[in-house]
Chains A and B, each alone.
Chain A
């Protein structure tokens, strides 16, 4: 009997504790207080170790210093960013669940090109900040492969490269190379969880080559996964890749191929790691998030840390590098319109080369 009363008392005390622990988060009228007193979950669309994940953790590492609150980073990978975007789109719009991804490749283009699984409208997300870089791509060969030149690649049938994104430049870049150099049977393998996994796949020899931006390629070169770049996917050389020839220096382009490359270049303006929230979060919280992320992005040591790793190609001009607020929203609308315009060119190309 005594034992029964004891257990009932213990249970009552513990259940009360549970009820208190489960009480809804304190909601304050001021956004600053709200974020100080609640934990934010920032969900990266890519796997640990890659550029998007690195930028996510870099920004998250300054959140406490700037706001006094807590931020937890999580990775929800899959579908080239589609899994995470679906999750963010349908998350509770209280401002406590945020996402980080690549705005063009993972949010705009999958929607414009109606990729299977897309359940969002990119124009409706609450965009916080885009951290931008020059995303000119170059081609590097896997260190496990014996190829040293483009001529070597041209002799091989069925080359494989990889992409962490479901669509966009990660497919178009290699597709352009395949088109202009006649790489027979080349395919872009989709389904990698992030650039770190694609880099590793190059390192194991599972993939033959990689077409990617400067900072990500450099990380993979440092890790011994790929060789130094062979060519720049552009109509002219780029300072990010000193001494590396551009495509027209290696092959005579047809007018159609030249237009294809120019179209690709025209869509590179808005490349960056974007931080965003579900549609419909309260305006004051969105404003607070924009201000906070801008403060973090403007820190000198954040720029230095980013440039030291996977973001050597960050724009040095602050106005180009940090895009937020209405400028960001307008930029996304422009990109959506541009990709819609180029759909007849890029759509068949993507369908032809993706696997």
Chain B
């Protein structure tokens, strides 16, 4: 293993390979920044070129691209309130709010550094746990996944700063929307009203961009202001470095969020979409000032971004060692392996250990490069939050509409974009929570799938398993930690006053 590590490091810094890692990172940042075009599509576009490249270079470029996308997506999430990729939706909660307060540089600094460092933490875990993936993955059943996803869904109630009831209604609406389409277990059409377009269900891209981008752009256009309220001056690199220091200040939050991302990344088919909300929710629930979440607190940026970037190394490790893709992007990378005549699976770690270690290291290097490149550009990129609405709004709207169409080339997706845009606008006006709707929508299908499998295989008492019980405990602990701590603090203060 040590030899493979040394060889892997040597390979990465080979000029022929590092060049492709840099290329992948640059492509990943650009793709991540453009709304509606995500890492999956970027990898698909790159796939045909794999034929013409040596395997190390091709795979290094693909892994570099995938490791940069979510960091690139954080830039638009923080500065414009538009998720560059699905998991970046959680970063908007506080990242965009910080930008509105004129702290865009700080939010960017925190998002970029937590992403980069989370990538490194996850790589360290991945290398240390190469022989442990199978035991971990095979200890988690469908029933356990129900509670993991429930952990994500349950945070619907604590998202944002509004009424919990409205948050739950929003989340419930999202769950309902997730039921539209052909039912996952039986294939029976549900809520499709005979419309063929709805058989595939409602796509993530128009929902995400509709809920977040359209209302935001309408608000900006009607107020005529800039994203940063009152055009508050960006404080340059000083502001960015403040965000960087925030990550070290909140090191324990960062570390546990990165670990959440890594662990979720190992589990096939769950993905970053779940991990970011679990991380955000636990950050809020355990914070001394949970009421500040959603108003622009830096912890609300550090937690989801750390989790999002912690996923990659875990997902890659599962893909390499079991041949089962840990995420949609890994499924495309799996396709790349096949083109190159490689077969991920148990034999891969034996026969291609050097290559496997190199690719895992690329995740870390890719994250670091992305962070460095984006950090130095951050003060300049942050200025977009002071661009006049008259220029920004048409530009963003065109990108949003183009990105939505490019996703599946369905004109109906544009109609869906407008419907959810209107819904998002209405929700904001009446104090409902579009993030909660998006979360319910994203996780509803997964929850249903694993719930039915759990009940069918283990009966109604499927939760009576160690892993499920631990997750239930975590769920209860997460929600009760804050109130219990507040109660203890109040009692000790009362005690001190009486004394």
Instruction: Count B-side interface residues using an 8 Å CB cutoff.
Output: 57
Shortest distance in angstroms between B285's beta carbon and chain A's nearest beta carbon? 29
Residue of A58, A75, A160, A204 near B331 (CB, 8 A) is A75
B196 in the interface (beta carbon within 8 A): yes
Determine which of B184, B196, B452 lies in contact with A90 in the assembled complex, contact meaning CB atoms within 8 Å.
Answer: B196
Contacts of A61 in B (CB 8 A): 51, 335, 338-339
Mask: chain A, 183-201; 1 = CB below 8 Å from B; 0 = not: 0000101111100110011
Contact: A222 with B335, CB < 8 Å?
Answer: no
| Shortest CB distance A46–B (Å) | 12
A7 at the interface (CB under 8 A from B): yes
8 cross-chain pairs, A with B, having the tightest CB-CB distances, nearest first? A79-B187, A82-B187, A117-B187, A11-B394, A191-B185, A7-B390, A14-B398, A48-B331
- Does B457 sit within 8 A of A, measured CB to CB? yes
Interface residues of A (CB under 8 A from B): 3-4, 6-7, 10-11, 14-15, 17-18, 21-22, 47-49, 54, 57-58, 60-61, 64-65, 70, 72-73, 75-83, 85-87, 90, 115-119, 144, 160, 162, 166, 187, 189-193, 196-197, 200-201, 203-207, 219, 222-225, 301, 305, 308-309, 355
Residue of A nearest to B49 (CB): A64
Chain A residue nearest in CB terms to B389? A7
User: In the bound complex, how far is the Cα of B401 from the Cα of A21, in angstroms?
Assistant: 11
A79 to B186, Cβ gap below 8 A? Answer: yes
Please tell me which stretch of B14-22, B321-329, B484-492 contacts chain A, meaning at least 4 of its Cβ atoms lie within 8 angstroms of it: B321-329
Q: List 20 A-B contacts (CB under 8 A).
A: A3-B388, A3-B390, A7-B390, A14-B398, A17-B398, A49-B325, A61-B335, A76-B200, A82-B182, A87-B199, A116-B186, A117-B189, A118-B187, A191-B186, A197-B269, A204-B140, A222-B346, A222-B347, A223-B323, A355-B456
Tell me, rounded to whole Å, the shortest Cβ–Cβ distance linking A296 to chain B.
Answer: 13
The answer on a CB contact under 8 Å between A6 and B391 is yes
Q: Which of B137, B188, B199, B393 contacts A203 (CB 8 A)?
A: B137
Which residues of chain A are near B393, meaning CB under 8 Å?
7
Q: Is B460 an interface residue (CB 8 A)?
A: no
B184 (CB) vs chain A CBs: closest residue: A78
Is A308 a contact partner of B343 (Cβ separation < 8 A)? yes
- CB contacts under 8 Å to A, within B134-181, are 134, 137-143
B186, A117: Cβ atoms under 8 Å? yes
A4 & B331 in contact (Cβ 8 Å cutoff): no
Give the Cβ gap from A45 to chain B, nearest Cβ, in Å: 10
Instruction: Name the distance in Å between B454's Cβ and chain A's nearest Cβ.
Output: 8
Q: Which residues of B contact A (CB under 8 A)?
A: 44, 48, 51, 134, 137-143, 182-189, 196, 199-200, 268-269, 322-325, 330-332, 334-335, 338-339, 341, 343, 345-347, 388, 390-391, 393-395, 398, 401-402, 405-406, 449, 452-453, 456-458
CB of B284 to closest CB in A, whole Å: 31
Chain B residues, CB < 8 A from A187: 456
> Do the beta carbons of B182 and A86 come within 8 Å of each other?
yes
Decide: A200 near B268, CB < 8 A? Known: A49-B323, A225-B138.
yes
* Inter-chain contact A205/B141, CB cutoff 8 Å: yes
B138's contact among A7, A57, A90, A200, by CB below 8 Å, is which? A200
Q: Is the Cβ of B51 less than 8 Å from the Cβ of A65?
A: yes
Separation in Å of the A200 CB from the closest CB of chain B?
A: 7
Cβ of B182 and Cβ of A4 under 8 Å apart? no
Considering residues A6, A72, A160, A191, which has the most beta carbons from chain B within 10 angstroms of its beta carbon? A191
Establish whether residues B394 and A14, one from each chain, have CB atoms under 8 Å apart when the complex forms.
Answer: yes
Check A83–B182 contact: CB distance below 8 A: yes
Q: Could you tell me if A117 and B183 are in contact, using CB atoms closer than 8 angstroms?
A: yes
A156 to chain B, nearest CB (A): 14
Cross-chain contact of A191 among B184, B332, B341 (Cβ < 8 A): B184
* B187→A83 contact, CB < 8 A: yes
Q: In the complex, what residues of B have CB within 8 A of residue A201's CB?
A: 141-142, 453, 457
Residues in B neighbouring A119, C-beta threshold 8 A: 189
Output the least CB separation between A327 and chain B (Å). 28
Cβ-closest chain B residue relative to A56: B335
Q: How far is the CA of A199 from the CA of B297 in the complex (A)?
A: 44
Contact A189 B456 (CB under 8 A): yes
Q: A219-B323, A223-B345, A305-B338 are in contact. Are A116 and B456 (CB under 8 A)?
A: no
- For residue B340, which residue of chain A has the nearest CB? A61
Q: Is the CB of A191 within 8 A of B187?
A: no
Q: Give CA–CA (A200, B388) in the complex, Å.
A: 53
Q: For B334, list chain A residues within 8 Å (CB).
A: 48-49, 57
A355 to B455, CA, bound (A): 11
Nearest CB in chain A to that of B325: its residue: A48
Known: A86-B199, A224-B346. A200 touches B324 (CB 8 A): yes
Contact residues in B for A355 (Cβ distance below 8 Å) = 456
Q: Is the CB of A11 within 8 A of B398?
A: yes
Least CB distance, A278 to chain B, in whole angstroms:
11
B134→A223 contact, CB < 8 A: yes
Nearest-Cβ distance from residue A329 to partner chain B, whole angstroms: 24
A202 to chain B: closest residue by CB = B138
In the complex, chain B residues whose CB is within 8 Å of the CB of A22: 402, 405
- Asked if A21 and B405 sit within 8 Å, CB to CB, the answer is yes
A41 to B133 alpha-carbon distance, docked (Å): 33
Q: How far is the CA of A190 from the CA of B401 in the complex (A)?
A: 39
Docked Cα-Cα span, A21 to B200, in Å, equals: 24
Which residues from chain B contact A60 at a C-beta distance below 8 Å? 335
Considering only CB atoms, which chain A residue lies closest to B445 in the complex? A78
Would you call B324 and A87 a contact (CB within 8 A)? no
Given contacts A7-B394, A60-B335, A191-B449, contact A21 B187 (CB under 8 A): no
Residues in A with CB closer than 8 Å to B391 are: 3, 6-7, 10
Q: Which residues of B contact A144 (CB under 8 A)?
A: 138
Q: Which residues of B contact A6 (CB under 8 A)?
A: 390-391
Best-buried of A21, A61, A80, A203 by chain B (most CB within 10 Å): A61
Q: A21-B406, A49-B334, A191-B456 are in contact. Are A72 and B44 (CB under 8 A)?
A: yes
- Collect the chain A residues with CB atoms within 8 Å of residue B200's CB: 76, 87
> Is there an interface contact between A64 and B186, defined as CB atoms closer than 8 Å?
no
Nearest-neighbour CB distance to chain B for A279, whole angstroms, equals 13
Tell me the bound Cα distance from A131 to B322 in angstroms. 25
* Distance between Cα atoms of A160 and B453 in the complex (Å): 11
- Residues on A with beta carbons closer than 8 Å to the beta carbon of B325: 48-49
Assuming the A-B contacts A21-B405, A22-B405, A48-B334, are A10 and B395 also in contact, with contact meaning beta carbons closer than 8 angstroms in the complex?
yes
**Closest residue on chain B to residue A50 by CB atoms:** B324
In the bound complex, residues from chain A placing their C-beta under 8 Å from that of B343 are: 305, 308-309
User: How far apart sit A224 and B321, CA to CA, in the bound complex (Å)?
Assistant: 11
Q: Which residues of B contact A87 (CB under 8 A)?
A: 182, 199-200
User: What chain A residues lie within 8 Å of B332 (beta carbons)?
Assistant: 73
Contact, CB under 8 Å: A223 / B182: no
Alpha-carbon separation in the docked complex, A80 to B184 (Å): 9
